[in-house]
Amino acid sequence: MIFPSTLLSLWFSIPAECGERSIYEERTQHSRIIGGQEAKVGEFPWQVSIQERNKHFCGGSILSEWWILSAAHCFYSGEFLPTELRVALGTNDLTNLPTELQVISVVWHKDFERLTMDSDIALLLLASPITFSGLTVPICMPPQPAPSRWHECWVAGWGMTNSVDKNSMTTDLMKVPMLIIDWEECSQIFPKLTQNMLCAAYENENESYDACQGDSGGPLVCNIKPGSKWYQVGIISWGRGCGQKGFPGIYTLLENYTLWIEKVAEVEGKPLNTRAIRAPVKKKLGERTQASKCPALGSPQDWLLPCLLSCTLLRALSN
C-alpha cells in the first residue's frame, strides 16, 4: 500500500528549476584538480551529445523540454538531414546512453557567416519532449542585465583531449575551468572578434586549458555566487588551435540572442517558458511555479494529486 505522504513526496519530486544540480550537490564534494578532469555524475545535467550515425560530433545544452541549443557551424555544411541526428542526454558516458531523442528541425541564425563565425548559434527541435530528472535539467538563460562579474565558470565536453591527436576524442564527459577575458584585450589577439563573441581561457604556469574539436556547441556556464544557479553565458564556437597559451577560446555571447531564441521557439510552436529559464524564484512546497515542468496529460501525476485531495475532502466531510 502506498500512503498519501509517499504519494505527495512523489508528486513534489518533479524536477528542479533550471540551472540546478540536485544530484551533484547532494554528493560529498572534494577539491577540484584543475584542468581536463572527468566530470562527476549530475555535475552538468544540461549537457548533451549531438550525434549522427551514433557518433558524437558536437555538444549542446538543454533549454527546455523541446529545445537544444548548439552552434550553427556544426550543421551549416548540410552533410546530413536533421532527422538523421540524435541527442544523447542524461549521461556522462557515451558508451552508456539511457536516453536518445530524435531531432526534427535545425534552425541556425540567418546572420551566421562561416568566414567570420559571427552569430554562431543554432536551435534543435526534438521529435519528443525530454523527461526531466536529476540527470536532465535545463540550463538557465543569462540574467538581464548580466552581472559585471561571474563567480565561477566551466566548460565540459566529449571532444579531443589532445589537439594533435584526432583519435583522442573521449567517451567520458570532461570539464575545465574558465575565466572570461576582457573583450578589448581579446580583440587585440583576434582582430575579427565581434560584439557577439566573448573570450574565455584558463592558464597556469605549466598548462593552458581550452575546449577543442568535438566540444563545439557546448555551453560555457557560470554562477553568480557559490551554491547558486548556473547560467549559460556562451556557446563554444572557435579559436586558434586548442589550449595554446596566449590564445583564449571564442564563444558566442548568448545574452545577445535571447530574443532570437524566444522568437524561433514561438514561431515553431514550442514557446519557451521564459520566466522559468531566466529568473526562476524558489517557492514554498505546494506553491505552483512556472520553473517546474508539469507532466504530460495522461500521466499518473495528472490524476494523482486531485485524487488525493478528493479523498481528503471526503474524509473531512464524513467526520
Residues noted as catalytic: 73, 120, 216
8 A C-beta contact, residue 155 and residue 176: yes
- Bin 10: left if φ > 0, else alpha if -120 < ψ < 50, else beta: alpha
C-alpha cell at 143: 540574467
CB-CB neighbours of 225 under 10 Å:
10
C-alpha to C-alpha distance for 152 and 149, rounded to whole angstroms:
9
C-alpha to C-alpha distance for 251 and 2, rounded to whole angstroms:
50
- Within 8 A by CB and 6+ apart from 42, the residues are 21, 22, 23, 24, 27, 134, 135
Write the DSSP string, 103-114.
Answer: EEEEEE-TT--T
